[in-house]
Structure 1
Amino acid sequence: MKQTDTTRRYVRIVAAVAALGGLLFGYDTGVMSGALLFISPEFDMGPTEEGWVTSMLLVGAAVGALTGGQIADRLGRRMTLIIGGLIFVLGSLWCAVALTVLMLGAARTFLGVAVGAVSIVVPMYISEKVPGDVRGKMVSLNTFMIVVGQLLAYLVNSALAPTGNWHLMLGMAAVPGAILVVGMWFLADTPVWYARRGRLDKARETAARAGMTLAELDIEDRVGDGASISRRSEWQALKAHRWLRITVLVAMCIGITQQITGVNAIVYFAPTMMNQVGISTENSVYTAIVIGVVSVIACWVGLQIVDRVGRRRLLLIGLTGNVISLIALAVAYRFADGNTAVAMLSLALMALFIAFQQAAVSPTTWLLISELVPVKIRGLGMGIAGLALWVANWAVAQFFLPLVALLSGSGTFVMFAVLGIVALGFVRTFIPETTGRSLEEVGRELKERFDR
C-alpha cells in the first residue's frame, strides 16, 4: 500500500509515544550510576550490596519480560504499556521514599517489572504498527529513547550531585511514566492483536491507517485458520514445531549478545570505576554525562543507517568495535590508578565502546528480536528472549564489581572482550538479514532454514 503524508505522520506519532517506554527504561537503568554514590555511604553498603540494589531492578525486569509478552497477547499491547506506565509512576515514588536497603531493593524489583515488560512490548507494538520500509528506524527509535533516558538520568544526577538528593533522582521517573499512560490512552492497538482476537475489520482499518495491508504483517494468509491459531496455546505451537523452538533459541542468544560484552557494566558503574582510580565523587558523577552524550549521538547515527547498512552487517561491525575497545580499555585501565591523564584515556575508551554499542549493537539486537519471533508465538517467544536478555543484564550488574575485586578492572574487561569474540561467531553463523523484508518473508525463511 502506498504511503502518504498522513500515514507517515501517524507512524511517527505511534513510534514516538510508544518509545516513551524506552525513555523510562533508560532513566531507571541509568539513574543508579550516580545515585549509588550517595546511597552507598548513607546505608553503609559494600560492593555486594551495591550490586544487589542495582541488579534487583533487573530481577524484576526478567519477570516483566517473561510475562509482559503474554499479558500483551491477552490484554493488548496498548493496555500492557498503560499498566507499565502506572507501575513506573508507583515504583519511582516508592524508590524515592525508601528508608532501608531492603526497602529500596524491593521498590527497584517492582519498578523492574515495568522495565522488563516495556522492553519487550514497545518493540513489539511498533514493529506491528509500521511498514517494513521504515520498521528499522521506527523500532530503533525505542533504543534511541533508552539512551536519551540514560542521559536524562545523568543530567539529573549531576544537577542534584551538590545536594546529594538521591531520593529526587530516583523519584523523577514518575513524570514520564504519567506521560506514557496518557499518550497510549489515545492510540489504538496493533493490527496483529486485533486479528488474533478475531477483529479482522479493526485489524484492516488499523493497518490501513499506517499504510499497510495485513499480508505485510503475516496475517492475511492465515485469516481462514485464525480461530484454530487462537485456540491453540503458544506453548503447544512451540512444542509442535522444531523451527519455532530454534527461532526462539536464536532470539534468546541475540538478547544475550547485547549484554555479553558488558555494556551495562559501564552504564551502571562508570562513575564508580572512575572514582576507584582517583576521580572525586562529584566529578565521577559528571563523567557519566560523557557516556550519556556519546550514547545519544551514536544511537542517532545508528537510527539513520540501520535500514541502509542492514541489521546483521551493522551488528557485526558493532561487536568488532566492542572487542577492540575493550582490549584497549583493559590496557589503559591497568595504569589509570592515580594518573589523571590515563584515567581520562580510560573514560574515552569507555565512550568509544559505548559508541559502537549504541550505534550498532543495541538497536540491531532489539530490532532483530522483534522481527525474528514469528507472529503465531509472538508474546511467548519475545518474552523468553527478553528473559534471556535481562538475566544476562542482571548477571553483569550483580557480579561486575565483585569480578573487578577478584580479577581487577583490566582482567574483567579482557573477559568481556573474549565473550564478544564468541558473540561474533554466533551472529555470523545463525543470524539472517531482515532489512526491508516483511514479517511474512522473514518467517518463511526461518521455517525453511530450521524446519529440517
Structure 2
Amino acid sequence: METGKQLSGTLAVAVFTAALGSLQFGYSLGVINAPQKVIERHYAMSLGVWSERSALLENSTEGEGSSEDQTHPDVVMYWSLSVAIFSIGGMISSFLVGFIGDFRGRVKGMLMINVLAVAAGLLMGLCRLWKPHIMVITGRAIMGFYCGLTSGLVPMYIGEIAPKAYRGALGTLHQLAIVIGILLSQVIGLDFVLGNDEMWHVLLGLSGAPAILQSFMLPLCPESPRYLYILLGKEQEARKSLHRLKGAYDPASDLEEMRKEKEEADRQPRVSIRSLILSSVYRQQLLVSLMMHLSQQLSGINAIFYYSTAIFSKAGVSQPVYATIGVGVINTVFTLVSVALVDRAGRRTLTLVGLGGMCCCAVAMTVGLRFQNNFSWMSYVSMTAIFLFVSFFEIGPGPIPWFIVAELFSQGPRPAAIAIAGCCNWTSNFIIGMTFPYIQAWLDSYVFVLFAVLLFGFTIFIYLRVPETKGKTFEEIAAFFQKKQRINKDNAELQQLKTSSDA
C-alpha cells in the first residue's frame, strides 16, 4: 500500500485554500503602484491642494516623468506613507506568527486573521466616502499587518501537511500565488480596467476579496497533523487528519516520525523567539534561514522592477507598462518551473543556480545601462538581462526561502524561527524600499555592481553552509546541523588545545 505519497483531493483543497492568503499578499504588494497618479490626485483634492493649474501641469508632463517634481509636498508625504506603512505592518506582525499559529492552530489562525484583511479592504474600498488619504493609509497598515501573519502561517501550514516527496513543490506554491497576485494587480490596475478616476478605490478594495473566499473554505481543511500530535498530544485526531490529507494508507511511519519529534521537543524547554536567538543549539539553522531571506530581498529584484519601465522606454517600447506586465508573466511562468523542479533538482541546487544566474545578469545590466547612450542596441542587452534576472530569481531565490525555514527546524522552534525569518524579510524589504533611491542616485548606472557583489557573496555562503533538504525528514535535517555543530565544537577544542600546548 502507498505510504502517503499520493496527492489527495483534500490535500489539494487545503493547499489551494491556504495559498489564497499568499495571493492576497501578492495583490496587496502590487496594487498600489499602477494607479499612483490617480491616487495622488484624489489625495490632493482631499487635502485642498489641487487646482486647475495642477491638472494642466500633470497633463502637459504626462509620460515624461517630470510631473512628480510638481506634486505638493503633503501629497508626496501621504503617498510615501501609503506605500511604506504596508511593510511596517508586516514587520510588526511577523513576530506574532508563532503565537497565532500555536494559539488556535494553523487553520483557525488563518481564519481568525481574515477579519483584518476584510476590514482593510472595506476601508480602502470605501475611502471616497471620507478622507481618502487617511482611509487608504489605515487600510494599508492593517493589510500589511495581515500579510505579515499570512506570509508565515501559509508556509508553516503547507510545510506541515505536505507529503515528504512533494514538500518542495507544494511549498513553492506560496511564492507562485504571490506572483500571480502581483500580475493580477498589474492587469486589473490598467487605466481602462480599474486603474482610473472612477474605479481606483474598487481596485484597492479588492485586496480583501480572497480573504472572504478563504473564510468559506478553511472550515473544510484538516488541521496540521504535526500540530495536533506534537503540540496538543492528540494522536487519534492527528491520525484522522493524516487519513483526510493522504487517503487510505497506513500512517504508522508518519506517526512514528512525529512521536520521535514530540519526545525531542518534550525534552527541551519551550522555544520562544528570545530563547531561539540566544540558543547555541539552533544557531546554524537560524543563520542559514536569515541568510536565505536576506538573499531574496538584497538580490536587487525590487531594483529591477524600479528600472524596468525606464529601460523599456529607452528601448523604444511604446507602451512600457505592457512590457512590465510581461515581466510579471515571466515571473509567474518561472515560478511554475520551480514548482516542477524543486523536488527533483533540490532546494540547494536551484538556489545556487538562481543566485549565480542573477549575479551574471546584474553584471550584464550594468554594462547595458552604462553604454545604452553610446550604442542603441545596448538597451536590448538590458531588456534581456531583466527577463533573465527575473527568471533566475523565481527558479530558486524567490520561492525557496519561504518554505525552507519550516524544513530546517523541528516542531518546537519552528514557529519562532518562521517569525524571526519573516521579520528579517519584511525589514530588509522596507530598508531596500527606503534607501534604494539614494543608492541609485549615488551609484547611477553602476547600482547593479553592488547587487552583483551581494549575490556573489550569498552564492558562496549557500554553497558552503546550506544542506540539501530534498527528501529528508525533519529529524534527519536537524541531525545534520547537530553533527555540524559537534564538528565545529571539536575543532574549536582542538584549536584551543593546540594554542595551549604552543604556549
TM-score normalised by the chain length of structure 2: 0.80
1:185 is matched with 219
* Cα separation, 2, equivalents of 1:274 and 1:54: 23
Judged with a 3 Å threshold, the aligned counterparts in structure 2 of structure 1 residues 400 and 217 are, in CA distance, closer, same or farther, namely farther
Asked whether the 8 Å contact 2:271–2:416 carries over to 1, the reply is no
Letter aligned with residue 169 of structure 1: L
- Pick aligned residue for 1:55 from 65, 78, 84: 84
Q: Which segment drifts farther, 37-46 or 155-164? A: 37-46
Mark the CA change 1:423 to 1:216 in structure 2 (over 3 Å): closer, same or farther.
farther
Other-structure match for 1:423: 458
1:328 equivalent to 2:364? Answer yes
Do the aligned residues in 2 keep the contact of 1:214 with 1:220 (CA within 8 Å)?
no
In the TM superposition, residue 418 of structure 1 has moved relative to its aligned partner by 1.4
| 1:265 matched to 2:303 | yes
1:50 offset after TM fit, Å? Answer: 5.4
Q: CA deviation at 1:365?
A: 1.7
Residue 149 (structure 1) aligned to one of 176, 181, 194: 181
> Structure 2 counterpart of 1:163, which letter?
N
Work out the CA distance in 1 between the residues paired with 2:281 and 2:311.
Answer: 46
Where do residues 197-212 of structure 1 align in structure 2 (5 Å cutoff)? 197-211=232-246, 212=251
Is the Cα contact below 8 Å between 2:172 and 2:403 reproduced in 1?
A: yes
Deviations 1:29-84 (A, max 9, x none): 12223133433455436777655432321111112222122211112111221133
- Tell me the SS of whatever aligns to 2:399: helix
Tell me whether 189-198 or 81-90 shows the greater mean CA deviation: 81-90
SS in 2 for 1:173: helix
1:163 equivalent among 189, 192, 196: 196
Paired position in structure 2 for 1:250? 288
Aligned counterpart in structure 2 of residue 362 of structure 1, from 369, 392, 398: 398
Counterpart CA distance in 2 for 1:271 and 1:92 is 29
Distance 1:226 1:414, change over 3 A: closer
Does the CA contact (< 8 Å) of 1:207 and 1:214 recur in 2? no
Residue 450 of structure 2 is aligned to residue 412 of structure 1 = no
* Separation in structure 1 between the aligned mates of residue 414 and residue 330 of structure 2, nearest angstrom: 33
Residue 385 of structure 1 is matched in structure 2 by: 421
3-state SS of paired residue (2:175): helix
Deviation at 1:213, TM superposition (A): 4.9
Q: CA deviation at 1:433?
A: 0.5
CA distance 1:239–1:363, shift in 2 (3 Å): closer
Contact 2:34 2:195 in 1 (8 A): no
5 Å-filtered alignment, 1:24-423, equals 24-40=24-40, 42-43=42-43, 44=71, 52-98=81-127, 99=131, 101=133, 103-158=135-190, 159-160=192-193, 163-164=196-197, 165-195=199-229, 196-211=231-246, 212-213=251-252, 215=254, 218-223=257-262, 232-235=270-273, 238=276, 241-267=279-305, 269=306, 273=310, 283-335=319-371, 343=379, 345-408=381-444, 410-423=445-458
Equivalent-residue separation in structure 2 for 1:91 and 1:338 (angstroms) = 48
Range that drifts further, 342-351 or 43-52: 43-52
Distance 1:41 1:71, change over 3 A: same
Structure 2 vs 1, CA of residues 340 and 291 (structure 1 numbering), >3 Å: closer, same or farther? farther
CA distance, structure 2, for counterparts of residue 292 and residue 120 of structure 1: 23
Deviation at 1:103, TM superposition (A): 4.6
Greater relative contact order (Cα 8 A, min sep 6): structure 1 or 2? 1
Q: 1:76 is matched by which residue type in structure 2?
A: G
TM-score by length of 1: 0.89
| Corresponding letter in the other structure for 1:257 | S
Q: C-alpha separation between the residues in 1 aligned to 2:460 and 2:168?
A: 23
Q: Could you list the per-position Cα deviations for residues 379-427 of structure 1 after superposition, in whole angstroms to 9, with x for gaps in the alignment?
A: 111100111111111112222233323332x232221121111111221
Classify the secondary structure of the residue corresponding to 1:375: coil
- Residue 238 of structure 1, CA deviation: 2.8
Percent identity for Structure 1 against Structure 2: 25
Q: CA offset at residue 315 of structure 1?
A: 0.2
* Rg larger for: 2
CA distance change for structure 1 residues 446 and 226 in 2, over 3 Å: closer, same or farther?
closer
Name the amino acid aligned to 2:465. Answer: F
CA distance in 2, matches of 1:66, 1:411: 36
- Following superposition, the deviation at residue 239 of structure 1 comes to 6.7
Cα gap change, 1:118/1:214 in structure 2, threshold over 3 Å: closer, same or farther? farther
In structure 2, the CA distance between the partners of 1:84 and 1:272, relative to structure 1 (3 Å rule), is farther
Deviations 1:286-343 (A, max 9, x none): 2321111001111111110111111001100000111111121222234557998655
CA distance in 1, matches of 2:277, 2:456: 32
> Quick one: distance in 1 between partners of 2:38 and 2:175?
28
The number of residues matched between the two structures is: 448
Letter aligned with residue 291 of structure 2: C
Q: Distance in 1 between matches of 2:215 and 2:377?
A: 46
Could you tell me how far 1:167 is from its partner in structure 2? Answer: 2.1
CA contact (8 A) 2:38 2:196 kept: no
Q: Please name the residue that 1:433 is paired with.
A: 468
